[in-house]
Amino acid sequence: QVQLVESGGGLVQPGGSLRLSCAASGVALDYYAIGWFRQAPGKEREGVSCLSGSDSSTYYADSVKGRFTISRDNARRTAYLEMNDLKPEDTGVYSCAVGFSTVRLLCLRAANVDYRGKGTLVTVSS
């Protein structure tokens, strides 16, 4: 059974940092594109950052460029999202997904998603 399990969410003050993890079981991540998505209260889910499985190309939403960094450790079957200088508008449920897709199609269209985790809540508030 394939599972993606996110962890690392929580409550953080504005300007703080969090590191999210997405651990995969039942599937190797090696050739998948990996994406992090978030859904804020009352809003649609959006692609935050995606990382190619083939050429290390990345996509970042404009709102997170320069603050978030996506990475992966295929040997550990884990993907990460390092989030710095967090803002209240970063609040939401963050989920990871994998698929055979380009980073733009995965992040902008959620195209060809094979598996998705249930998410972890990030709350940025003072």
pLDDT reported for residue 56: 86
What one-letter code names the amino acid at 65? K
Contacts of 65 (CB under 8 A, 6+ apart): none
CA-closest candidate to residue 81, choices 93, 96, 92: 96
Per-residue pLDDT of the chain (126 residues; tens, 9 = 90+): 899 999 999 999 999 999 999 999 998 888 899 999 999 999 999 999 999 988 889 999 999 999 999 999 999 999 999 999 999 999 999 999 999 999 999 998 888 899 999 999 999 999
Residue 70: which of 81, 60, 78, 61 has the closest Cα? 81
State both tokens at 50: 């995606």
